[in-house]
């Protein structure tokens, strides 16, 4: 894509937004195949090096609460530029880290890349109305959905060819490239009447109850969190199920593990094509129904004694498909409840989704053992899917109430 210097308020190309979200996802998982190599390099325990994942998610969730309000106050562009600059510095820190503690500190600092995930969506909402925003967010997350499928594979190849540091050199190069892309392509999209409006940060915080007390905001937010919770639980439990229960080798497990990502890609495509036509509420509802139906059928199939890897991983495509419809549309909905706080809504929604997902992932990993089999994971996934369905049904009911009162 050819970049040219844009005026101060020129909207970015969608490729820029896809890249911002994609690098945010890539930073989470590209180095996972290198964890054993990194453990040997630093002379640390494997459990300690695994903290590079948990600590990153924890800091990312916390930062996403702050990123949104900062961008609502000071603008999307400066927050993105500062965030990307700090990400590049943090990545240099991972490359020169002499100790495990230094590396983990730099790894936590890398979580500032959450600016890409949060603000790529807020920028979309600045640019277009709600239903069109859902469509654009669908295309953005469709591009992002490819990254979890290919990221670990790329990281494994780089590790084998050049060592674990190659993963972080790649992230540094992409960070620098993204910094340049944002500088030349992404003008300020926050509406002029809201940018630098003179309101202090403390005064802005006093306005947040208008968002936090909105039942519709929480309906969309929790529908997204519970729907994605089924996927995060899968991330925490599926490796155990595949390895211990189905005796899969790493290659086959890696192949089957990507089943939800295929469904997610398809769900994002459906969102991009139809969201503007049918509306965000219907898209979230259909997505939640698909997840619930898939998990119910999987539960009943296992209950009937048909417990194979193809059945288990095959039904996981419905989780990805439903999430591909729920997440971008619920995000567009929560961003539109209070458009003047779109950045805040995006950050808070992402923080709740990632924080809750990390907890469910850990819960699945803790509860699973050879005696329980896959049942704790199946219970978590079916309960979260029904909760997502209940949340969107309530949100639709609440919206109809408000419409009648208007």
CB 91 within 8 Å of CB 175: yes
Kindly give, in sequence order, each residue whose CB lies less than 8 Å from that of residue 194, ignoring residues fewer than 6 positions away.
72, 340
- 335, pLDDT greater than 90: no
Sign of torsion over alpha carbons 209, 210, 212, 214 = positive
- 194, pLDDT greater than 70: no
pLDDT single digits (tens) 245-260: 888 776 677 677 778 8
pLDDT single digits (tens) 258-316: 788 788 888 888 987 888 888 889 999 999 999 999 999 999 999 999 999 999 999 99
pLDDT class of 3 with cuts at 50, 70, 90? very low
pLDDT single digits (tens) 92-133: 999 999 999 999 999 999 999 989 888 887 787 777 666 666
Kindly give, in sequence order, each residue whose CB lies less than 8 Å from that of residue 355, ignoring residues fewer than 6 positions away.
57, 58, 61
Domains of the chain, each with CATH number or no CATH: 10-186 (1.20.1250.20), 209-406 (1.20.1250.20)
pLDDT class of 235 with cuts at 50, 70, 90? confident
For the segment 31-36, the average pLDDT, to the nearest whole number, is 72
Q: How high is the pLDDT of residue 53?
A: 73
How far apart CA 69 and CA 87 sit, in angstroms, is: 19
């Amino acid at each position: 894509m050819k970049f040219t210097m844009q005026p101060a308020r020129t909207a970015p190309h969608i490729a820029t937004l896809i890249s911002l979200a994609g690098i945010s996802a890539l930073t989470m998982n590209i180095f996972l195949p290198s964890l054993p190599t990194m453990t040997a390099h630093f002379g640390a325990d494997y459990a300690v090096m695994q903290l590079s994942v948990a600590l990153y998610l924890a800091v990312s969730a916390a930062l996403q609460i702050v990123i949104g309000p900062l961008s609502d106050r000071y603008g999307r562009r400066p927050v993105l530029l500062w965030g990307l600059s700090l990400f590049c510095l943090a990545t240099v820190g991972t490359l020169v880290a002499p100790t495990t503690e230094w590396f983990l500190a730099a790894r936590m600092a890398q979580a500032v890349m959450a600016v890409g995930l949060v603000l790529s969506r807020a920028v979309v909402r600045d640019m277009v109305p709600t239903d069109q925003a859902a469509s654009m967010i669908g295309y953005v997350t469709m591009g992002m959905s490819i990254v979890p499928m290919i990221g670990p594979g790329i990281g494994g190849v780089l590790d084998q060819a050049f060592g674990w540091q190659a993963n972080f050199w790649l992230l540094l190069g992409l960070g620098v490239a993204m910094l340049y892309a944002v500088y030349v392509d992404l003008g300020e999209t926050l509406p002029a009447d809201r940018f630098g409006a003179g309101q202090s940060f403390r005064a802005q915080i006093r306005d947040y109850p208008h968002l936090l007390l909105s039942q519709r905001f929480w309906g969309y937010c929790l529908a997204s969190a519970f729907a994605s919770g089924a996927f995060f639980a899968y991330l925490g439990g599926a490796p155990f199920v595949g390895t211990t229960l189905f005796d899969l080798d790493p290659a086959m497990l890696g192949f089957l593990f990507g089943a939800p990502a295929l469904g997610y890609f398809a769900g994002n495509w459906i969102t991009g094509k139809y969201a503007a036509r049918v509306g965000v509420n219907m898209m979230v509802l259909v997505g939640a129904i698909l997840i619930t139906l898939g998990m119910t059928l999987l539960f009943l199939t296992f209950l009937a004694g048909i417990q194979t890897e193809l059945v288990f991983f095959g039904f996981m495509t419905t989780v990805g498909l439903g999430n591909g419809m729920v997440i971008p549309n619920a995000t567009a909905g929560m961003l539109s409840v209070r458009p003047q706080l779109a950045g805040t809504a995006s950050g808070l929604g992402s923080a709740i989704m990632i924080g809750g997902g990390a907890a469910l992932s850990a819960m699945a990993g803790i509860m699973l053992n050879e005696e329980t089999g896959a049942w704790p994971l199946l219970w978590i996934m079916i309960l979260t899917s029904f909760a997502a369905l209940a949340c969107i049904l309530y949100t639709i009911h609440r919206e109809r109430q408000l419409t009648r009162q208007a």
